[in-house]
Amino acid sequence: MKHSQTDLDMIRAYNDGYRVVNQVIYNPRGKILKGSVNNRGYRAFKPYKESLNIPVHRLVAYQKYGSKMFDSGIEVRHLDNDKSNNSNSNIGLGTHADNMLDIPEEVRRENAIKASNKIRKFTNREVALIRKDHQVMRSYKDVMSLWGISSKGTLHHILNNKYVTTK
């Protein structure tokens, strides 16, 4: 198995005596390290000048699970979905699906709507016009041709489902 440079730095730091106890990062001499928050919102620290920032939750997982965290398809999870909670009891291993299910349902739904809005072609006003045109024309083929819709499934969805965008 090939490890990322961050994981190699983390393993080296662990072997040199860096530890996380009760969410506090200690260097090998017992000095408390402050750390910082990385660009992904995770608390991290840099044990060596030449090393990358090591996410604290990954060191906690390595302390708790060892090399199991590197198994294929396994991710380190924050069980309560709070990236700042690196307590031993809040760190677990699981699949990507498990990790996604740690996110509250309402947040997952909001994220899905945001993502779908980015790929939607029609504004709310255009959807209303498409529906009106279908009421008049009564033909999928004609409405699809008029609006440049290439799929009956797409038109069916526009006509029969909640199709609201933020545009």
Alpha carbon distances (Å) from 4 to 7, 51, 116, 158:
5, 12, 32, 44
- Give the predicted TM-score (pTM) of the model: 0.71
Q: Which domains does the chain have, with CATH numbers?
A: 5-95 (3.90.75.20), 105-160 (no CATH)
Amino acid 166: pLDDT: 55
pLDDT at 85: 97
What is the pLDDT, as a whole number, of residue 165?
Answer: 60
pLDDT digits (tens, 9 = 90+) for 115-143: 877 777 888 899 999 999 999 999 999 99
Left, alpha or beta for 33 (phi > 0: left; psi -120 to 50: alpha)?
beta
